[in-house]
Amino acid sequence: MTRRPPSRQDNEGSNYQLDTAFQAAVIDLVRYDRAYARVREATRTGVKRYATASLYRERFLAFDELAESLVELVERSVDALEGIWRWKQCSENAVEDTKTFVWKGDNFILTFVRSLDFMRDCRELVEWYGEEFPLDANPFMLSSSLLDKAADRGLQISQQYSAARTNVLRAALRLHKPAADDEPSIPPTWWPETRYPSELRRRIEQSEQEILRELVDARWLVVQGGGRTRGPITIVGAEPRDVAKQKVGD
């Protein structure tokens, strides 16, 4: 069956949907930026409190403000990512080619991946979370970073984008991690993810799958061993995309 070419009205309707989705994504990104600024400030404040604390209780509470602000940031992050993917879904029927969402002059997805890497330079924060907590390419602040998830799928960061520092302890722990059918370990109560509601965790998992796909498409991730990807890579355990089912502005 031959499809008719899109009419002018079709193109105008598609472009309107694209513009609406773009504006909604921008609103989400502005909210993300505000939450990110609060995390930066809470990190500075927490580091000072931790460094000057004379009692263990004071140290234990030093990063409470940061913990709360991280939950908000992760929520705003998922909102922004879902907004970008809704925009991309709309672009499939639009005249314009919209594969990359540029925010502040850069591909937002690529900058987002390392947006919290500054924390690894905060000695007090590293001490508080523990050496086994990943602070490299971990924008959702989970016990497993995006690089960990990529490695589990046979992928690694390409040399072009590699800026990671080897954490010997974490590398050793990953080599001896329990099998998939073993009972998963429970993260320490002071790690950020323990504060995430179950619905947020579900949305994070879906966002991670989409991010990994985009990183493969951008050659940020490649097949382990120096190979290059050819065609789409199946992400093991990926769930079907459902962000497109949501209406723009929901």
Q: What residues have CB less than 8 Å from 36, skipping those under 6 apart?
A: 73, 76, 115
CA distance 73 to 139: 9
Percent of the chain having pLDDT more than 90?
Answer: 64
Could you tell me if residue 29 is inside a domain?
yes
Residue 229 lies in a domain: no
Reported as a single tens digit per residue, the pLDDT across 88-131 is 988 776 555 557 899 999 999 999 999 999 999 999 999 999 99
**Mean of all residue pLDDT scores within the chain:** 82
The reply to whether 242 falls in a domain is: no
- Single-letter residue type at 82: E
Does 245 fall in a domain? no
Number of domains, the chain: 1
In tens, the pLDDT along 228-246 reads 544 444 444 344 344 333 3
Q: Which pLDDT score, from 0 to 100, does residue 13 have?
A: 55
Q: Determine which of 67-76, 103-112, 163-172 has the lowest per-residue pLDDT on average.
A: 163-172
Long-range contact pairs involving 170-173 (C-beta distance under 8 Å, separation at least 24): 170/131, 170/132, 170/134, 173/132
Q: What is the pLDDT of residue 109?
A: 96
pTM for the predicted model, two decimal places: 0.79
Range of the domain at 149: 15-176+190-223
> Percent of the chain at pLDDT above 70?
72
> Which helix (H) or strand (E) covers residue 23, if one does?
helix 8-52
Which residues lie below 8 Å from residue 50, measured CB to CB, with a gap of 6+? Answer: 59, 62, 63, 124, 125, 127, 128
Residue 56 CB contacts under 8 Å (≥ 6 apart), including other chains: none
Token representation of residue 84: 């970008």
Sign of the torsion angle spanned by Cα atoms 84, 89, 90, 95: positive
pLDDT classification of 153: cutoffs 50, 70, 90: very high
Domain annotation covers residue 38: yes
